[in-house]
Amino acid sequence: MRRILLLMLVLLVAYGGLVFWLPETTVSPGDLVEGHASIAASCFQCHTAFRGTPSEKCLACHALAAIGLASTTGAPLARAERMPRFHQALLDPACDACHSDHVGTGRPGANARFTHERLRPDVLTECGDCHGDAAPADDLHRSAPKTCGSCHRVEGWTPATFDHAALGATPEQRCITCHAGVRPGDGLHRQAGDDCAGCHGTTAWKPATFEHAKYFRFDRHHPADPCQSCHPDSLDRYTCYGCHEHTPQGIAREHREEGITDFEDCARCHRSGDEDDAERSRPRSRGARSRDDD
Amino acid sequence: MALRLVATRAVFLVALWGALVAAAIALDATLHVLGLAWIGLWLGPIGTTLILASFAYSFRKRGWFERGSPRALLLVHEALAWSGTLLVLVHAGIHVHALLPWLAVVAMLIAVASGLTGEFLLTTARARLSARAQELRNAGLEEATLQKRLQTDALVVRGMETWRVVHLPIAVNFAVLAFLHIVTAVLFW
């Protein structure tokens, strides 16, 4: 046992001596950053025994008010103009929360370790102070409001939660400005024009809310394709006089015989090619008579 | 028969050593992929605690306490030392820059290798002695003659038992380096 203790003592003295003799080689987790190379051998200039690296020691050389503006010697920094001055807006200037001056420790750089939670709430909404005009030069960002926070979160630019309402009063009219590239090439969409909002909502393309059967049910005599048969000008207008079956004169004569005078909006009564539908649903004009009246 | 036992034992111990290194690499890579590499920092103290707990066997062997059978405690010693070493290896990862922690890691691996070697030598020597005794008994030798014939083999077993004379300084070397690493890590926190 005594031998073991003696061996321990000898090794402790030998290795301990090595640590005191070559602290940089034996215990330093990596070379210091270039700016601190001159104090590499003075561990306790930054470290306090068993307490880590208190910010007071950093701030003794790097005055908080001057960070980003001037060097520790007071010389103005050339990059001061383009450097965001967020250090002064930190809730708690805990330097080692972001900075690790020993390179080679495998720790991420200061930028990666910075989180916006460290900033005072009043500066969190002023994204431009640090990020400048960082918005991409695309149509979406040109149309979007300048308050980044309405879409983006401080954790990262993506994922963003875009709300079409932020675009203005009538975003429906602008869909195609941004979404032209995603319009399907099928017959319906080719003929639908640019009024995406007529069928789609602003949160997702699906489900689309448009149901043609609510207005008129297709059948083999009234097929869906081509739309222009009934909608020659635009999808929000229709006509039933586009084929040989229905002519304005013939329709007028037939309806007047029934005592129906208001027959311009055909689909109001005729929800399909089946004439019985109209019998069940048509509103009658004052004084009109039905076939049963005969 | 004895040769097969020796070979099997040797393969097992080499596999145990290989599994230690493979498991350390796999665990470290998993932590990095999951973005949980910071856990490695705390695996050091946990691994060290396991290794310290494994010393219960050494204390039992020296009669510091009487509870538990040395054979069972040897198995616990091996299991805890292996697991502790695994966690310390993951803790070391690939981030070790300074000389002291490197020395501690190397000393730890040497200590584990030494422990496995001692265990291998002792187990195989005992097995060979037992097989030889059985062989001589089967040949109809009297007990007195048998003991005389086995004397040399028994000396070999006792010689193997002295492996701990080699193993102990190796373990102490690791303990001192680990202690200094912990002290300096806390000192320059």
Q: What is the DSSP string of chain A?
A: -HHHHHHHHHHHHHHHHHHHH-HHHHT-SSPBPGGGGGGTT-GGGT-BTTTB--HHHHHHHS-GGGTTTB-TTSPBPTTTTTS---GGGBSS--GGGT---BTTS-PPPHHHH--GGGB-HHHHT-HHHHH-S-S-SSHHHHHS-S-GGGT-BTTBS-S----GGGG-S-GGGGHHHHHGGG---SHHHHHHTT-GGGT--SS-SSS----GGGT---BTTB-SS-GGGT-SS-TT---S-SSSS--HHHHHHHHHHTT----S-GGGT-SSS-HHHHHHHPPPPTT---GGG-
Question: pLDDT tens digit string along A239-267?
Answer: 888 777 788 888 888 888 888 888 888 88
Closest Cα in chain A, distance from residue B180 (Å): 7
Q: Where are the domains of chain B?
A: 2-187
pLDDT band at B104 (very low <50, low <70, confident <90, very high): very high
Contact A7 B172 (CB under 8 A): yes
Residue type for position A253: R
The most confident of the ranges A104-113, A212-221, B24-33 is: B24-33
Contact B98 A25 (CB under 8 A): yes
Q: For position A287, what pLDDT does the model report?
A: 37
pLDDT band at B25 (very low <50, low <70, confident <90, very high): very high
pLDDT band at B26 (very low <50, low <70, confident <90, very high): very high
Q: For position B43, what pLDDT does the model report?
A: 92
Average pLDDT over residues A88-99: 87
Contacts of A70 (CB under 8 A, 6+ apart): A76, A77, A80
The CB density around residue A268, as the number of other CB atoms within 10 Å, is 14
List the beta bridge partners of residue B178: none
Token pair for A113: 């370790």
Residues A26 and A23: their CA atoms lie apart, in Å, by 5
Closest Cα in chain A, distance from residue B6 (Å): 32
Q: For position B2, what pLDDT does the model report?
A: 62
Interface membership of B108 toward A (CB under 8 Å) = no
Q: Which of A58, A43, A69, A65 is nearest to A97 (CA)?
A: A58
Give the H or E element holding residue B169: helix B163-187
pLDDT band at A289 (very low <50, low <70, confident <90, very high): very low
Average pLDDT over residues A44-72: 89
Cis peptide before A207 (omega within 30 of 0): yes
Question: pLDDT tens digit string along A123-172?
Answer: 888 888 788 777 788 777 877 766 788 888 888 888 888 777 777 656 55
pLDDT band at B144 (very low <50, low <70, confident <90, very high): confident
pLDDT at A282 over 60: no
- Residues on chain B touching A4 (C-beta within 8 angstroms): 168, 172
Residues A160 and A166: their CA atoms lie apart, in Å, by 13
- Residues on chain A touching B169 (C-beta within 8 angstroms): 7
Q: For position A286, what pLDDT does the model report?
A: 42
Q: For position A6, what pLDDT does the model report?
A: 93
Place of tokens 């980044």: A148
The CB density around residue B148, as the number of other CB atoms within 10 Å, is 11
Q: For position B170, what pLDDT does the model report?
A: 93
Nearest to A15 among B94, B168, B176 (CB): B176
pLDDT band at A210 (very low <50, low <70, confident <90, very high): confident
Question: Left (φ > 0), alpha (ψ -120 to 50) or beta: where does A156 sit?
Answer: left
Q: What does the DSSP 8-state code read for residue B20?
A: H
The CB density around residue B82, as the number of other CB atoms within 10 Å, is 20
pLDDT at B70 over 60: yes
Closest Cα in chain A, distance from residue B133 (Å): 35
pLDDT at B125 over 50: yes
Contact A255, A288 (CB under 8 A): no
- Residues on chain B touching A104 (C-beta within 8 angstroms): 97
Minimal-distance CA residue of chain B relative to A52: B189
pLDDT at A220 over 90: no
Which DSSP string do the residues of B123-167 spell out, in sequence order?
HHHHHHHHHHHHHHHHTT--HHHHHHHHHHHHHHHHHHHTHHHHH
Token pair for A170: 């009538």
Token pair for A228: 């222009």
Closest Cα in chain A, distance from residue B29 (Å): 14
pLDDT band at B95 (very low <50, low <70, confident <90, very high): low
Contact A12 B176 (CB under 8 A): yes
pLDDT at A290 over 60: no
Average pLDDT over residues A98-114: 73
Taking the CA of residue B124 as centre, how many other CA atoms within 13 Å lie in the half-sphere pointing to its CB?
Answer: 19
C-alpha torsion angle, residues A128, A134, A139, A144 (rounded to 10): -20
pLDDT band at A288 (very low <50, low <70, confident <90, very high): very low
Residues 116-175 of B with CB under 8 A from A: 168-169, 172-173, 175
Question: pLDDT tens digit string along A41-56?
Answer: 888 899 999 888 999 9
C-alpha torsion angle, residues A215, A220, A184, A165 (rounded to 10): 0
Closest Cα in chain A, distance from residue B175 (Å): 9
Rounded to two decimals, the ipTM of the complex is: 0.75
Residue type for position A160: A
Tell whether the torsion through CA atoms of A224, A225, A230 and A231 is positive or negative. positive
Q: Which of B58, B59, B84 is nearest to B164 (CA)?
A: B58
Q: Where are the beta strands (DSSP E) in B22-139?
A: none
Three-state secondary structure call for residue B93: coil
Nearest to B176 among A8, A25, A27 (CB): A8
